[in-house]
């Protein structure tokens, strides 16, 4: 759906690009002509993404081993990258999450999720933003959030808190850094299966089927659908989009959040009864 060289001339870093949706975005950006950088904790995962991009016939992928929870490590990694020129885009994709009853969480469990999602995203954005502003370099930040950043959600409370903060950062920086040529946007994906997220978040086959059933489109998202949107938002074609969060969830959260959505279990007879009760 795009021109083959949509992202040519751009150098884009994806955190957590060694697996899952991050890896899918890197492969797509590279296929559209971008030079990509993957940053994450596991060297083997980063190398796997680089290998896949090479197999796709894409350009070499820069690999940076870094834990985004460590601000000094983040700044050092970004400084090293800048020695080969500036980045043009940052995708804050790395996340940490698991389902748990909130009363069962230890303070370290809270810290580990907020450390990755909220602090890590802020550290990466600061490290790049300071350099972009100093060099008057135009750039784009894309943050991967979730729909429960604004609805909240039971059983993933630290993740909801962190993603809500990232969404607030997205909108705040759109205004503060927009005049400096830096766009900030977010994507809120619904369920897009990945081994990592599914292992931590989906309790079993029944939960998977329930999630599919409660989606208005009756299915999960496909990775290329997410990477279509991410590529658009990282391209100059979306140059006037700033401070926006784009939901891509098949309509899931609207159905889950609506007050009378539970009526979807009513039968034809039930509806006839309701019709007769009027007046
Ligand atoms: C309760 C848990 C737990 C669990 C860890 N902890 N897993 N508590 N239930 N399932 C607690 C530990 O007991 C420990 O506290 C503390 O959290 C730190 O755990 P560690 O394993 O030492 O942390 P670490 O090795 O740094 O791993 C971080 C992690 C891990 C977040 C726990 O899952 C990870 O690396 N995740 C990265 C990838 C990821 O999460 N992807 C999913 C993103 S999906 P104590 O007190 O015992 O020391 C997403 C969007 C969802 O974000 C939308 C989908 C629809």
What pLDDT score was predicted for residue 195?
A: 92
The tens digit of pLDDT for each residue in 155-164 reads 999 999 999 9
What pLDDT score was predicted for residue 210?
A: 87
Is 53 within 8 Å of 14 (Cβ atoms)? no
Q: How far apart are CA 241 and CA 260, in angstroms?
A: 33
What pLDDT score was predicted for residue 279?
A: 59
| CATH class of the domain at 11-278 | alpha beta
Average pLDDT over residues 66-77: 98
The CA–CA distances, whole Å, from 39 to 72, 127, 154, 191, 252 equal 15, 14, 30, 23, 30
Q: Of 114-123, 241-250, 269-278, where does mean pLDDT reach its minimum?
A: 269-278
155 is catalytic: no
Average pLDDT over residues 229-245: 98
Q: How far is the CA of 248 from the centre of ligand 1 (A)?
A: 25
Atom of ligand 1 nearest to the CA of 190: 55
Testing ligand 1's pocket by substitution, the residue of 40, 92, 112, 252 carrying the most ligand atoms inside 8 A of its CB is: 112
Q: Of 93-102, 146-155, 160-169, 255-264, where does mean pLDDT reach its minimum?
A: 255-264
Query: Would the pLDDT of 18 be above 80?
Result: yes
Atom of ligand 1 nearest to the CA of 156: 51
**Closest C-alpha to 198, from 212, 178, 184:** 212
Q: How confident is the model at residue 256 (pLDDT cuts 50, 70, 90)?
A: confident
* CB-based pocket (< 6 A), ligand 1: 95-98, 100, 106, 108-109, 112-113, 146, 159, 191, 196-197, 200-201
Average pLDDT over residues 120-139: 98
Average pLDDT over residues 51-72: 97
What pLDDT score was predicted for residue 203?
A: 80
**Closest C-alpha to 184, from 168, 199, 198:** 168
Q: Is 77 helix (H, G, I), strand (E, B) or coil?
A: helix
Q: How far is the CA of 166 from the centre of ligand 1 (A)?
A: 18
The CA–CA distances, whole Å, from 143 to 90, 162, 246, 259 equal 8, 12, 10, 29
What pLDDT score was predicted for residue 267?
A: 93
Atom of ligand 1 nearest to the CA of 117: 52
What pLDDT score was predicted for residue 223?
A: 98
């Amino acid at each position: 759906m795009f021109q083959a060289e949509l992202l040519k001339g751009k150098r884009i870093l994806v955190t957590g690009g060694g697996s899952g949706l991050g890896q899918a975005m890197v492969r797509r950006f590279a296929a559209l002509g971008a030079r990509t950088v993957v940053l994450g904790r596991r060297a083997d995962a980063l190398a796997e993404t680089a290998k896949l991009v090479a197999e796709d016939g894409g350009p070499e992928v820069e690999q940076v081993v870094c834990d985004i929870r460590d601000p000094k490590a983040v700044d050092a990694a970004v400084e090293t990258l800048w020695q080969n020129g500036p980045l043009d885009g940052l995708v804050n994709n790395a996340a940490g999450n698991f389902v748990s009853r909130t009363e069962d969480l230890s303070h370290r469990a809270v810290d580990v999720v907020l450390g990755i999602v909220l602090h890590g995203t802020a550290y990466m954005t600061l490290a790049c933003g300071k350099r972009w502003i100093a060099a008057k370099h135009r750039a784009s930040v894309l943050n991967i959030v979730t729909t429960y950043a604004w609805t909240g959600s039971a059983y993933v409370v630290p993740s909801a808190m962190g993603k809500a903060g990232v969404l607030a950062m997205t909108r705040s920086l759109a205004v503060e850094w927009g005049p400096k040529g830096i766009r900030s946007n977010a994507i809120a994906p619904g369920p897009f299966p990945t081994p990592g997220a599914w292992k931590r978040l989906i309790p079993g086959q029944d939960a998977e089927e329930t999630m599919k059933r409660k989606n208005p489109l009756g299915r999960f998202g496909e990775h290329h659908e997410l990477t279509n949107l991410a590529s658009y938002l990282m391209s100059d074609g979306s140059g006037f989009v700033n401070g926006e969060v784009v939901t891509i969830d098949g309509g899931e959260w609207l159905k889950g959040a609506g007050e009378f959505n539970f009526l979807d279990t009513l039968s034809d007879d039930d509806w006839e009864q309701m019709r007769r009760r009027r007046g």
